Amino acid sequence: ALRVGVRQPGGEAMTAPEFSLNVLTRDISLYLENQVKVGLFGSGVGLSLVLGFSAAYAYYYLSSVAKKPQLVSGGETFCQFLQEHCPVVSETYYPTFWCWEGRIQTLLRPFITAKPWVEYRNELLKMADGGQISLDWFDNDDSERHPDAATRPTVLLLPGLTGTSRESYILHMVQQSRELGYRCVVFNNRGVSNERLLTPRTYCAANTEDLEAAIAHIQSITSAAPLVAAGVSMGGMMLANYLGQKGRETCLRAAAVFSAGWDVFECTASLEKPLNRLLFNSYLTSCLQASVQRHRQILEKLFDIDSIMKANTIREFDERFTSIMFGYPSNDDYYRDASPCHKLKSVQVPTLCLNAADDVFSPGGAIPVEAVRQNPNLAMLVTAHGGHIGFLEGLWPRHSTYMDRVFRQFIKAIFEQGSTLQNL
């Protein structure tokens, strides 16, 4: 459309588009000529830069990223047991070199890791208040190591905040258990696994009534089989709170807790930082709201659903929904009760905990190392990196993670050598 005349040497006029094209062509030609000269006479410089950067990055990775985890235990017996039967606790953890940072590990794991195929047998368990929870059983009837179903070791798995038996980390734990010949049961919180919500009540990290009922039910039908539990994220918080409340009055032989939020106040404060809020908080809040919306018909009898749907953070969601549902005077009261760090002193079965120091859901400063040192039944494994349920390792981490290896070695050691820990 522009017809601005530009005079060429020689007097012939060019339009603006023609002039721009000629200038661009001239500049590209000059650039290519320069690149050819650099290629002929200076290619070694570029190669040296690449090699120098690679060497510097490798040095930084090996000196500052790849480290042995910190192992803290309240008793020498448990510590020696882990070092002898779970060598992974003493090995250097090499996070995937191109995504070792905590946020990146957290974000990428669901997309990178494969989802092993698992066929469950579903059971809906009725609760005393008229509600129901969904248990997904992997019976492992083809087990060669433990062909007798009556005595086949059983692993109870608890997923995270909005997770189900189909989460990749749960499927990997089931796969590890299957290879060892064990049976698995996945505890799905109320209303998250496509089952109908029968009463206006869901779940929270502090309330362990449903978990207690599920454990009692599992024990009643597999009474001759040893039972171990493993919880991830909020599932780990619920499991730790259960262990602290029950003390010795539990049939669990041992437990494993992965990426738990030990102090809920610290967790929410970390998740409300601008970048973390953008990457994680808003998404999880929307997932919680979607679950409420799915069960709106029964929940709106007791709750202001429109107000809940306007929550922008997990804290606001809990203030408008969770803390009210479970009868807490305030949200602070709920967060205090939900924080497992206050109950660790009462845990009376061998419990191994794994956290990453760069987990934005459970910041390193909130990991209860001192509380663990006061209880001989506890051991805390802290890696420098790994994020939240990340722990990716290897060049292309499609399969087993560091967390999976810790899980596999620990449950195997408990089922096969755990008798040495009976008198902790």
Q: pLDDT for 262-271, tens place per residue?
A: 999 999 999 9
Could you give the angle at the alpha carbon of 148 between the alpha carbons of 258 and 116, nearest 5°?
40
Residue 233 among the catalytic residues: yes
Q: pLDDT for 263-318, tens place per residue?
A: 999 999 999 999 999 999 999 999 999 999 999 999 999 999 999 999 999 999 99
Residue 136 among the catalytic residues: no
Query: What is the distance between the alpha carbons of residues 419 and 85, in angstroms, rounded to a whole number?
Result: 13
pTM, two decimals, is: 0.88
For residue 112, the model assigns a pLDDT of 92
Which pair of tokens denotes residue 238?
């619920």
Residue 359 among the catalytic residues: yes
Average pLDDT of 1-23?
Answer: 39
Average pLDDT of 313-341?
Answer: 98
Residue 52: exposed, middle, or buried by beta-carbon count in 10 A (0-12, 13-18, 19+)?
exposed
**Which one, of 355, 346, 191, lies nearest residue 263 by Cα?**
355
Annotated catalytic residue within 146, 172, 385, 388: 388
Percent of the chain with pLDDT strictly greater than 70: 90
The secondary element (H helix, E strand) that includes residue 405 is helix 402-417
Query: What is the distance between the alpha carbons of residues 311 and 386, in angstroms, rounded to a whole number?
Result: 29
Annotated catalytic residue within 318, 337, 359, 404: 359
DSSP annotation string for 212-231: HHHHHHHHHHSTTS-EEEEE
Annotated catalytic residue within 168, 177, 193, 233: 233
DSSP annotation string for 302-344: TS-HHHHTT--SHHHHIIIIIHHHTT-SSHHHHHHHH-GGGTG
Contact 144, 214 (CB under 8 A): no
For residue 321, the model assigns a pLDDT of 98
Contact 86, 416 (CB under 8 A): no
Q: Are strands 154-158 and 254-258 parallel, antiparallel or unpaired?
A: unpaired
Which pair of tokens denotes residue 128?
């005393």
Residue 251: exposed, middle, or buried by beta-carbon count in 10 A (0-12, 13-18, 19+)?
middle
Average pLDDT of 107-125?
Answer: 95
Token pair 């400063």: residue: 365
Which pair of tokens denotes residue 416?
């096969």
Domain 67-262+341-418: state its class. alpha beta
Query: What is the distance between the alpha carbons of residues 214 and 342, in angstroms, rounded to a whole number?
Result: 24
Q: Where in the chain is the domain with CATH 3.40.50.1820?
A: 67-262+341-418
Which pair of tokens denotes residue 7?
């005079």
**Which one, of 250, 258, 254, lies nearest residue 232 by Cα?**
258
For residue 6, the model assigns a pLDDT of 37
Q: pLDDT for 191-243, tens place per residue?
A: 999 899 999 999 999 999 999 999 999 999 999 999 999 999 999 999 999 99
